[in-house]
Copies of this chain bind each other. A is one copy, B any other.
């Protein structure tokens, strides 16, 4: 059904209006070469005009070479690009948008001026446009997709659609937090990792990013303050800034967020939220010890501020002792816990979750429903059929083995290749290693040299709200095989030596 705008009050005859609309659509390539035009009888009925009117319009297009009729099949947009003499937009259809006849409305210009976040960060733009033939990618924020057993998941997905049929095709649950069996499984996974949880406290989200977004939108209004570690996850920063929140970074030391600085910030900024990654922090890889975890919670309680704990890789530990999640130390509902299946399984599922206790949970369910109704019920059912506590733990062990080997390869290569003045902390888990450059070397400036050498990383500035130049960078050690990691670090060392 083609809903062509007609103006019956216009002096231009209807066939001319139809002709002009179609010609503009063809010339602006909205209707591409080879598209079939609607049958004249059908179009006449849809538009409430006589069939002759439509036939005349199409005949005109055909005479000018825009359209070719095929006996018994209909009219198709021909390869008209050899034609010249473009029609200037004179009728009021949205085809003229492409021609840019009118300036954008003021509100559009304003929205662009007011933007706080750009589509690409500087480093993304640089990396995307890098044309090195075999770029080694340490800039990724994801784990490796190889660790996921796609064939097994594919078979499970099939089996679930066969099993559930039409039941899997609706919105699914929108009032309890998602597909109940999956929430129960998640609660069991959490409980078995030391975070006592029940299904009725689990909300399934479209990745952990949406979980962070829901919590931030619920608890923080534009202009209000969110405390974050400084540096912190770039996706969190961009989200908070896009909301118009005031993002205040709290300095870290080698053991994580500094509690003296946190208390000072709590006093001076009256924040509405603390966003923290206490375990295998992004980007630095550090973890808070248990003692500081308890103190962090006590401070939040004292100042009546909720904590969002982003535990995105909390279970990917390669050495050292397990630190409890903040949520496991939560006594009164101060901590909202967030995790994802993007790291231990695969990002493409777009499934994450949060666990929260108290009245805030229902408000988050309401907000999720208001914002996108539900995450794909089909995908939730497939994931539930795919994972069990045992299978999830086995997957964590498998991923842990692979990533530990890759981390070790990176550490060994750093020892071997890095010059004086470069420092790093051994990450006990997670995906990232934070590399300190020699004093005063700006990592953002180093990036172009490194890309020329064929290695990508994320410069430290990306992880600060003010994007200040910074002499550290983030390396993801999980994406490549050890041999490639070694080559990548050698390249990086070469770039650094060129800058020293």
Contact = CB atoms under 8 A, between A and B. Distances in A.
A347 B171 CA distance: 6
A440 to B, nearest CB: 32
A217 B30 CA distance: 29
Contacts of A87: none
A154 to B, nearest CB: 5
Given A118-B366, A196-B94, A207-B372, A3 B242 contact: no
Interface string A92-129: 11111110011111111101100101111000100000
Interface string A289-331: 0110010000001001110000000110100111111011111
Contacts of A172: 348
Contacts of A148: 169
A169 B145 contact: yes
Interface residues of A, number: 148
A329 B192 CA distance: 58
A154 B35 CA distance: 28
Contact of A370 (B117, B207, B390): B117
A137 B362 CA distance: 26
A327 B196 contact: no
Given A3-B314, A145-B166, A119 B362 contact: yes
Given A209-B371, A322-B46, A348-B168, A119 B366 contact: yes
**Which of A105, A175, A205 counts the most chain B CB atoms within 10 A?**
A105
Contacts of A112: 359-360, 362-363
Contacts of A369: 119, 238
Given A94-B331, A105-B332, A370 B166 contact: no
A195 B359 CA distance: 45
B2 A194 contact: yes
Interface string A250-270: 000000000000000000000
Given A3-B324, A161-B154, A198 B371 contact: no
Interface in A388-424: 389-390, 393, 396
B290 A332 contact: no
A196 B350 contact: no
A431 interface: no
A210 B372 contact: yes
A173 to B, nearest CB: 12
Contacts of A197: 30
A142 B166 contact: no
Given A162-B154, A194-B4, A198-B98, A350 B321 contact: no
Interface in A358-393: 358-360, 362-363, 365-367, 369-379, 389-390, 393
Contacts of A118: 366
Nearest to A101: B331
A321 B76 CA distance: 24
Contacts of A323: 3
Given A35-B389, A146-B166, A187-B30, A104 B330 contact: no
A206 B145 contact: no
Contacts of A346: 169
B348 A192 contact: no
Contacts of A371: 209-210, 213, 239, 371
A406 to B, nearest CB: 17
Given A187-B30, A290-B6, A306 B242 contact: no
A291 B307 CA distance: 53
Contacts of A161: 150, 154, 157
Contacts of A120: 175
Most B-side CB within 10 Å, residue of A145, A239, A322 = A322
Given A94-B330, A239-B370, 5 more contacts: A109-B359, A142-B170, A150-B169, A157-B161, A350-B377
Please give me the 4 A-B residue pairs with the lowest Cβ-Cβ distance, nearest first. Answer: A30-B196, A48-B321, A5-B324, A112-B359
22 contacts: A2-B193, A3-B194, A3-B324, A4-B322, A30-B187, A35-B192, A46-B322, A92-B329, A92-B331, A94-B195, A94-B329, A97-B196, A105-B334, A107-B305, A115-B366, A150-B165, A206-B372, A238-B366, A239-B370, A239-B371, A348-B378, A371-B371
